[in-house]
């Protein structure tokens, strides 16, 4: 059994201090984590084309570069996150798979401003991105050098196949080299915590030595489950092998994109062989070449197969750890540079020789994980219900670890992962990392959670009248189809199976408490109670009474009702009187035109009744010349005699010539008219 460690997960930390071994050459670029606020909200896209549903600009302050760290990402199939640096326009697209590959992080971007866009795929829902922090640049520290002849002879280089390694716990960088046709890469074991992203085609740093990053199309997330590394990390036993996921922008592997790899040499060459190391070491004093790609040649001092150690005189500095030691003449891989020593006796640098048993095919990169016979399947489950995901592999000694949205689920280490009670928070992407012992990551299975039906509009209580119709209704939110069952006093109403219940006509048995039981495939629920009550009847118990008023006086009429919730409308001579809608009528400053027949219409939801008519007399309205029987414009003794000649008694009909004495216009000259005559008498 080999001594290497197979790394199954990496826990990200916000603590970025790292103490390398004596002579180990990790770079001294620094970083810090700052809190940010990114929250797109949860979005659906009901349309047949993709749509930008959320956008946010994030300002990181005075920094040279940044990398985003998301707390929660859920992307339906066809949805993705688009991140753009507003400094140089570099763009990265992350879908559910690539965001899981990255551990809910982005690539590295230059500048201090980012635009984050959430693009929802056609006919999708539940898309959300929430972020809590970002890794940003901090001033680099001076780096130790290991210059073998006193003069740093490294030069800037753009050869393919060499990567700068960076990670969230950056106290680096380190270097790495593509070694196999399948894309397996080698670096130093003491760099294992820096193996987060492999960057190719790295640009020069800023004038102050801050790293500058290539576009996301040249950055590859390391498959953390593929890492095999050494323990303890000492010269001759200091190595890490790993592979990378395809690029999030191009979907190319590192070999497809770089077009080269450096195969391991078949036998140890003689001492004195010219070697080349290409890496990303620091430069004393910083500047544009600091941790940019540089190369130098030197000589093989010794290759000790028994110790799996190689010594050489190629110039290296902090950040060179993990660089491939390449035979200049053949381009073959001889070992991994890990330690500097040219600045101290015996004045050579060192690394791990290719002969180490854990650098051999079948061990490196864990690229021979067990085949998956049955992938986990996407499913839809009801909130409050249960569901499960399963995987089947071809292995005698399998291991399993289930992940939710890229994060390991505690104790989910079997071929089936069951969710006994499904909640809305369980919606998302599930994968399983299987091993034997090298791991294979499954395809992504998405869980969609359907809630039980939600009542948007409850049925409302109302009053009804026997013989009249009534209607109750309910409105639901959800996909449906829905079921309905209306109930009266907790008893099902036969045939009442729709969103609206019509009661026509209302009978005595119709009154009571109504509810609607609603349901769909995800459960049932009860509406609020709606009470149908009989409307109160009423009775007119006090009719308006006849009354009279003198001109300029007041008129008062009233009606007495036994009952509640009634309305009133007074009329004169059958015509509605605007605004007179109370139980009494009061008119001030009575005029002749106010005389007549008055009644009131009383009603509620069930009935309407009109009162008896009341006669209103306005005295002093007999007309011009009232009481002047002889027409001499003087009501005197002669008119007095004429008045009594016209008196007809209580049942008589006045002669037309006597109308002048009919003060109250009742077609009858009687004692009532005499009272008015006395007032008008002038003598």
Work out the average pLDDT over 164-182: 86
- Confidence label for 649 from pLDDT (cuts 50, 70 and 90): low
Phi/psi zone of residue 647: left (φ > 0), alpha (ψ -120 to 50 degrees), beta?
beta
Using the predicted structure, report yes or no on whether residue 2 has a pLDDT greater than 50.
no
- Least confident range from 336-340, 582-586, 588-592: namely 588-592
Q: Output 28 or 120, whichever has higher pLDDT.
A: 120
Q: What is the pLDDT of residue 28?
A: 60
Do the Cβ atoms of 483 and 497 come closer than 8 Å? yes
Task: Compute how many other C-beta atoms are within 10 angstroms of the C-beta atom of residue 408.
Answer: 15
Q: What percent of the chain has pLDDT over 70?
A: 90
Work out the average pLDDT over 186-191: 94
- Give the integer Cα–Cα distance in Å for 29 and 209: 9
Work out the average pLDDT over 179-197: 92
Work out the average pLDDT over 157-167: 95
Using the predicted structure, report yes or no on whether residue 20 has a pLDDT greater than 50.
no
Q: What is the pLDDT of residue 6?
A: 34
Do the Cβ atoms of 185 and 174 come closer than 8 Å? no
pLDDT tens track for 75-123:
998 999 999 999 999 999 999 989 988 889 999 999 999 999 999 999 9
Give, as one character, the DSSP assignment of residue 139.
Answer: P
Q: What is the pLDDT of residue 610?
A: 95
3-state secondary structure of 638: helix
- Give the integer Cα–Cα distance in Å for 102 and 220: 9
For the ranges 399-403, 499-503, 637-641, the maximum mean pLDDT occurs at: 499-503
- Give the integer Cα–Cα distance in Å for 367 and 376: 21
Q: What is the pLDDT of residue 148?
A: 81
Q: What is the pLDDT of residue 169?
A: 66
- Confidence label for 408 from pLDDT (cuts 50, 70 and 90): confident
- End-to-end CA gap in the chain: 147
Work out the average pLDDT over 32-61: 93
- Give the integer Cα–Cα distance in Å for 258 and 304: 32
3-state secondary structure of 655: coil
Phi/psi at 527 (5° precision): -75, 170
Structure tokens that stand for 20 in this block? 């390398």
For the ranges 10-14, 429-433, 637-641, the maximum mean pLDDT occurs at: 429-433
Structure tokens that stand for 319 in this block? 């950040």
- Least confident range from 173-182, 286-295, 650-659: namely 650-659
Helices (H) and strands (E) in the chain, counts: 4, 56
Structure tokens that stand for 554 in this block? 């007041």
For the ranges 63-77, 321-335, 374-388, 453-467, the maximum mean pLDDT occurs at: 321-335
Using the predicted structure, report yes or no on whether residue 417 has a pLDDT greater than 80.
yes
- Confidence label for 285 from pLDDT (cuts 50, 70 and 90): confident
Q: Over the chain, what is the mean pLDDT?
A: 87
Q: What is the pLDDT of residue 604?
A: 83
Q: Output 536 or 354, whichever has higher pLDDT.
A: 354
Burial 428-441 (b: 16+ CB within 10 A, else e): bbbbbbbbbebbbb
Tell me the H-state helices in 237-332: 254-258
Using the predicted structure, report yes or no on whether residue 3 has a pLDDT greater than 50.
no
Structure tokens that stand for 287 in this block? 């500047």
Using the predicted structure, report yes or no on whether residue 488 has a pLDDT greater than 90.
yes
Q: Single out the residue of 170, 191, 166, 182 nearest to residue 351, CA to CA.
A: 191
Q: Which residues, other chains included, contact 453 with Cβ-Cβ below 8 Å and sequence gap of 6+? A: 476, 477, 478, 482, 518, 519, 520, 522, 523, 524, 525
Do the Cβ atoms of 124 and 50 come closer than 8 Å? no
Burial 284-315 (b: 16+ CB within 10 A, else e): eebebbbbbbbbbbbbbbebeeebbbbbbbbb
- Give the integer Cα–Cα distance in Å for 585 and 599: 10
Residue 120: strand pairing partners? 51
pLDDT tens track for 432-456:
988 766 677 899 999 998 887 889 9
pTM, to two decimals: 0.57
Angle at the Cα of 262 (from 260 to 265), degrees rounded to 5? 150
Chain Cα centroid distance, residue 408: 23
E strand residue ranges, 543-613: 547-550, 555-558, 560-562, 567-572, 575-576, 584-587, 596-603, 608-610
> Scanning the structure block, which residue is given the tokens 């979907």?
251
Q: What is the pLDDT of residue 656?
A: 62
Do the Cβ atoms of 338 and 323 come closer than 8 Å? no
Structure tokens that stand for 528 in this block? 């609020």
Do the Cβ atoms of 327 and 269 come closer than 8 Å? yes
Q: What is the pLDDT of residue 24?
A: 60
């Amino acid at each position: 059994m080999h001594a290497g460690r197979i790394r199954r997960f990496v826990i990200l930390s916000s603590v970025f201090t790292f103490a390398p071994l004596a002579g180990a050459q990790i770079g001294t670029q620094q970083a810090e984590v700052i809190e940010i606020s990114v929250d797109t909200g949860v979005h659906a896209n009901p349309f047949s084309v993709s749509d930008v549903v959320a956008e946010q600009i994030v300002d990181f302050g005075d920094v040279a570069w940044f990398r985003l760290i998301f707390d929660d990402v859920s992307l339906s199939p066809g949805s993705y996150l688009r991140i753009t640096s507003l400094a140089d326009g570099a763009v990265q697209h992350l879908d559910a798979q690539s965001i899981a590959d990255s551990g809910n992080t982005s690539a590295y971007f230059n500048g201090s401003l980012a635009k984050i866009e959430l693009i929802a795929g056609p006919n999708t829902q539940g898309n959300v991105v929430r972020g809590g922090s970002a890794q940003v640049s901090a001033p680099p520290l001076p780096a130790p050098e290991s210059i073998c002849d006193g003069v740093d002879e490294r030069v800037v280089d753009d050869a393919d196949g060499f990567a700068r390694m960076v990670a969230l716990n950056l106290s680096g960088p380190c270097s790495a080299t593509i070694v196999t046709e399948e894309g397996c890469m080698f670096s130093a074991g003491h760099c294992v915590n820096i193996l987060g992203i492999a960057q190719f085609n790295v640009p020069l740093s800023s004038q102050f030595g801050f790293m500058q990053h290539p576009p996301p199309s040249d950055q590859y997330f390391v498959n953390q489950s593929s890492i095999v590394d050494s323990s303890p990390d000492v010269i001759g036993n200091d190595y890490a092998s790993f592979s990378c996921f395809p690029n999030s922008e191009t979907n190319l592997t590192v070999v497809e994109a770089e077009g080269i790899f450096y195969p391991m040499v078949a036998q140890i060459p003689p001492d004195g062989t010219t070697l080349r190391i290409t890496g990303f070491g620091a430069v004393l004093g910083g500047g544009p070449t600091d941790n940019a790609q540089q190369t130098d040649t030197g000589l093989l001092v010794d290759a000790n197969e028994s110790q799996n150690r190689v010594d050489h005189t190629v110039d290296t500095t902090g950040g060179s750890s993990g660089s491939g030691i390449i035979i200049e003449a053949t381009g073959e891989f001889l070992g991994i540079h890990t330690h500097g020593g040219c600045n101290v006796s015996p004045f050579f640098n060192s690394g791990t020789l290719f002969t180490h048993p854990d650098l051999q095919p079948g061990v490196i990169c864990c690229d021979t994980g067990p085949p998956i016979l049955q992938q986990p399947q996407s499913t839809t489950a009801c909130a409050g219900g249960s569901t499960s995901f399963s995987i089947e592999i071809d292995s005698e000694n399998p291991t399993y670890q289930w992940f939710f949205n890229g994060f390991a689920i505690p104790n989910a280490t079997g071929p089936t992962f069951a969710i006994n009670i499904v909640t809305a928070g369980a919606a998302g992407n599930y994968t399983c990392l299987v091993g034997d012992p090298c791991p294979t990551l499954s395809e992504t299975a998405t869980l969609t959670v359907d809630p039980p039906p939600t009542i948007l509009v409850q049925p409302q209580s109302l009053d009804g009248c026997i013989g009249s119709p009534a209607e109750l209704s309910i409105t639901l939110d959800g996909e449906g189809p829905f079921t309905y069952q209306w109930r009266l006093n907790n008893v099902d109403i036969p045939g009442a199976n729709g969103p609206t219940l019509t009661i026509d006509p209302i009978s005595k048995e119709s009154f009571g408490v109504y509810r609607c039981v609603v349901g769909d495939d995800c459960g049932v629920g009860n509406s609020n109670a709606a009470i149908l009550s009989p409307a109160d009847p009423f009775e007119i118990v006090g009719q308006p009474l006849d009354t009279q008023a003198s001109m300029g006086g007041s008129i008062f009429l009233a009606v007495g009702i036994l009952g509640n919730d009634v309305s009133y409308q007074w009329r004169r001579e059958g015509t509605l009187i605007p605004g007179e809608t109370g139980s009494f009528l009061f008119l001030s400053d009575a005029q002749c035109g106010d005389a007549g027949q008055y009644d009131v219409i009383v009603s509620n939801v069930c009935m309407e009744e009109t009162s008896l008519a009341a006669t209103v007399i306005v005295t002093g309205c007999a007309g011009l010349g009232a009481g002047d029987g002889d027409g001499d414009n003087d009501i005197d003794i002669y008119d007095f005699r004429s008045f009594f000649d016209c008196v007809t008694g209580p049942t008589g009909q006045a002669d037309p010539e006597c109308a002048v004495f009919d003060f109250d216009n009742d077609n009858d000259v009687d004692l009532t008219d005499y009272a008015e005559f006395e007032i008008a008498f002038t003598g």
